[in-house]
Amino acid sequence: MAQTYTETAWVVKPGQEDEFIRRWQDWAEWAAVQGLTASAKLLRDVERPNRFLSLGPWESMDRVRRWRTAEGFQERIARLQEVLESFEPRTFEQVAET
């Protein structure tokens, strides 16, 4: 079975970057008990410091679906949205590795 990953591009309101990182960490800790197979990663764009990318490996596509519909998910996303200009979540399956 292919490894499943979630990836989200985040654009944070200027000046809210530190608050976003704190809220994202809280959200990622909650997500960790929902089916992540390893730690989620948050990456920051070095040229545009209010842009971030997060990655998370999951047990399966089904676990991602259950996580996104779990009680508390929408509440946690709403807290993040308070400091965001936009975000774009995506789901990927691994198709190759070298």
Strands (E), 23-66: 41-44, 51-58
Q: CA-to-CA distance for 84 and 50, rounded, in angstroms?
A: 9
**β-strand pairing of 41-44 with 4-12:** unpaired
Domain ranges of the chain: 4-93
> 83-97: string of b/e by CB count within 10 Å (b at 16+)?
bbeeeeeeeeeeeee
* pLDDT, position 92: 96
In CATH, the number for domain 4-93 is 3.30.70.100
Q: CA-to-CA distance for 4 and 23, rounded, in angstroms?
A: 24
Mean pLDDT by 10-residue block, N- to C-terminus, for the chain (98 residues)? 91 98 95 90 98 95 93 94 97 92
Per DSSP, 13 falls in state: P
* pLDDT, position 35: 85
* pLDDT, position 2: 79
* pLDDT, position 49: 97
* pLDDT, position 25: 96
The CA-atom distances, in angstroms, between 17 and each of 53, 56, 58 are: 13, 20, 26
